[in-house]
A and B are shown apart, each in its own frame.
Chain A
């Protein structure tokens, strides 16, 4: 199976480590790229030399450019129309959840503190996202909350 390419935008170093260890332990064929804020993320995604990843994980509260601002910019870019975006947030408020999905996120993940729970959530998100290949299943109505 082809390599799955994920990008994580997260300013907290510990969270980045926690996340990348969980991804590694899933044992899937995954390449993970980490960026530290929204500006770096947009630079990465808009660089034509980088292939559009399969899935981006986006922290809501980041310096320079936050999650919602990133979402809006990404969805304005037609080249990134079909990019799957997962919000990775500590907020469990219904309002935040709805706002993110309305602004174009496909997936909303409540950041867990437990490592095993994070692994199982990531596995679910990655496998379901993989089914929305854009050919038989369009991403237009793809919403997932875990």
Chain B
């Protein structure tokens, strides 16, 4: 006996998504049949389970490759900034070598995706590193300037002010007052 079937794809998808997400017991919304908004935190393990179960129906969860690439660039910058051994080298060369791509390509892709240039992002990360070092109370600004390979303490302090709008002294004062207040509250 042969049966001929007709079907509606969006009904099928809806049903599958309802069933599979129902099993995980999470609240969600479906937009345009292709975007699922999970309304609560989904642990990584459950996301993996979901990915595997949906794969059985030929449904893939897309993660944009471009997003993944930008994250890789950002992680590389962090790694370089936090490791003093790299400071004697030219940062653009290190980044290019680590990602095995030309610096021009990386820097263009970064500008297209992030509203910032890679240069500015590196400066921002360096200033964040300086903030962390300042808050550990162990180093002077001159020592930090030396550690982060600034040509002088003046260069670091002016870049700090340019990026954050406040001086490093004001920064420390504000964060310390903020921490005191949070402690009092809790």
Residues of A participating in the B interface, judged by any CB pair closer than 8 Å: 1, 28, 48, 76, 98, 101-104, 108, 126-128, 130-131, 133, 135-137, 141, 143-146
- What's the interface size class on B, roughly? 20 to 34
* Among candidates A103, A131, A145, residue contacting B164 with C-beta atoms closer than 8 Å: A145
Nearest-Cβ distance from residue B161 to partner chain A, whole angstroms: 9
* Among candidates B116, B165, B175, B185, residue contacting A145 with C-beta atoms closer than 8 Å: B165
- Chain B residues within an 8 Å CB radius of A126: 115
A137 touches B128 (CB 8 A): yes
Q: Which residue of A lies closest to B71 (CB)?
A: A135
- Chain B residues within an 8 Å CB radius of A137: 74, 124-125, 128
Q: Give Cα distance in the complex from A17 to B29, angstroms.
A: 33
Residues of B participating in the A interface, judged by any CB pair closer than 8 Å: 39, 71, 74-75, 77-78, 113-116, 121, 124-125, 128, 131-132, 135, 164-166, 170-171, 173-175, 177-178, 181, 185
Besides A28-B115, A135-B74, 5 other A-B contacts (C-beta < 8 A)? A101-B178, A136-B125, A137-B124, A141-B132, A144-B164
- Chain A residues within an 8 Å CB radius of B74: 133, 135-137
Chain A to chain B contacts (Cβ below 8 Å), 15 pairs: A1-B114, A28-B115, A48-B39, A98-B170, A127-B115, A128-B116, A128-B124, A131-B115, A136-B78, A137-B74, A141-B132, A141-B135, A143-B165, A143-B171, A145-B166
Nearest-Cβ distance from residue A137 to partner chain B, whole angstroms: 6
